[in-house]
Amino acid sequence: MPVVFSHLNYIYSIKTPMEFSALKDINLQIEDNSFTMIVGHTGSGKSTLVQQINALLIPTSGIVDVNGIVVDCNVKKLKNIKELRKGVGLVFQFPEYQLFEETVLKDVSFGPKNFGVDNKKATELAKEALNLVGIDESLFDKSPFELSGGQKRRVAIAGVITLKPKVLILDEPTAGLDPQGSREMMKLFTKIKEQGTTIIMITHDMDNVIRYGTDVVVLAKGELIKKCRPYELFLDQDSFNSLSIDEPLVIKMAKRLNQNGYHISLENVIDIDSLVQEIKKEKRYE
């Protein structure tokens, strides 16, 4: 389901000396079933932005509309908050720190139980989610604290997707994982997206942005700078330099080759294999 921000402002500690304007007049539509990447410097407002989507933070002014459920500053006690949060799963950074139960299965079924699902059904949903994230049945009765870092993170993510959220928000889900673990994690999100979920992911990894993203949103100092297709971000050298966004090496290579007479279409370059396919199209290799 689409998420629409309109004239949204968010100010931390309003009317105190610590007042800090974290989001300024955000107008943005995140498309249904997109894989939207949110990028920007530390402190640019990325985490503040995504926390508006499930009403962990309530806008100071303006609105956010999640599939018809509108959150604005007038909402004191949100009636549909449960409904909203059922539909929007949020995975914080280093979610493994939030594991707490005695066993993996209990930890993952905590969420649905909390939403009033009965024990049996909750266990069923938990098993299904654990299966999807690739946690073997032999680990279900283990303490989550005995698992490896990568496994813990999978369990934590399983806990969020038990109720099959329509929007899944991920805050730097691959930070601290080894390359293989990181790739498997991205594959998992692609799989979840294919089941119809909208994925919103905060990341610093530009390789993942061009490889998996359908859209990218750039924030700087609380303002929306750009929303575009990932490759479009790198068309204008000056603009991404000033945002201090790292250019993926495949894009950098494609541009260097183009400067030297190649005709590579950046839109098609998402990884090394696609770059080589583009290179092969050149006359000199025919």
Partner 1 sequence: MENKAIEISEIEFGYYKDQTIFSNLSLDVNVGEYVCVIGHNGSGKSTLAKLLVGLNEVRKGEIKIFGQVLNEENIYSLRKKIGIVFQNPDNQFIGSTVRDDIAFGLENACVKHEDMEEIIHEYAKKVNMEEFLDKEPGNLSGGQKQRVAIAGTLAMNPSLLIMDESTSMLDPKGKREIRELTNMLRQENKKLTIISITHDIDEALQADRVIVINQGEVVLNDKPEVVFKNEEKLKEVKLDIPFSYKLNQVLNKNNIKVDSVDFEGLVKELCQ
Nearest to partner 1 of 163, 209 (CB atom):
209
CB of 123 to partner 1, least distance (A): 28
Q: Is 243 in the site for partner 1 (CB under 8 A)?
A: no
Number of residues that bind partner 1 (CB under 8 A): 34
Q: Which segment (70-78, 102-110, 156-164, 250-258) binds partner 1 by CB under 8 A?
A: 250-258
Q: Count Cβ atoms within 10 A of the Cβ of residue 13 and give its class: 0-12 exposed, 13-18 middle, 19 or more buried.
A: exposed
Q: Is 228 in the site for partner 1 (CB under 8 A)?
A: no
- Exactly one of 176, 214, 221, 232 binds partner 1 (CB under 8 A); which one? 176
x-or-dash string of contact with partner 1, 196-225, rule CB under 8 A: --------xxx-------------------
CB of 105 to partner 1, least distance (A): 22
CB of 247 to partner 1, least distance (A): 10
Which residues from 25-84 bind partner 1, rule CB under 8 A?
41-43
Q: Is 285 in the site for partner 1 (CB under 8 A)?
A: yes
x-or-dash string of contact with partner 1, 144-173, rule CB under 8 A: ----xxx-----------------------
Amino acid at 82: K
Q: Is 179 in the site for partner 1 (CB under 8 A)?
A: yes
Q: Is 273 in the site for partner 1 (CB under 8 A)?
A: yes
- Exactly one of 181, 223, 235, 243 binds partner 1 (CB under 8 A); which one? 181
Nearest to partner 1 of 121, 256 (CB atom):
256
Angle CA 245–270–129, to nearest 5: 95
Q: Is 116 in the site for partner 1 (CB under 8 A)?
A: no
Taking residue 90's Cβ as centre, other Cβ atoms within 10 Å add up to: 19
Q: What is the DSSP string of the chain?
A: --EEEEEEEEEETTTSTT-EEEEEEEEEEEPTT-EEEEE--TTSSHHHHHHHHTTSS--SEEEEEETTEEEETT-SS-TTHHHHHHHEEEE-SSGGGG--SSSHHHHHHHHHHHTT--HHHHHHHHHHHHHHHT--GGGTTS-GGGS-HHHHHHHHHHHHHTT--SEEEEESTTTT--HHHHHHHHHHHHHHHHTT-EEEEE-S-HHHHHHH-SEEEEEETTEEEEEE-GGGGGTSHHHHHHTTPPPPHHHHHHHHHHHTT----GGG-SSHHHHHHHHHTSGGG-
Q: Is 14 in the site for partner 1 (CB under 8 A)?
A: no
CB of 252 to partner 1, least distance (A): 8
Which residues contribute to the site for partner 1 (CB under 8 A)? 41-43, 148-150, 175-181, 204-206, 244, 246, 249-250, 252-253, 256-257, 260-262, 272-273, 275-276, 279-280, 285
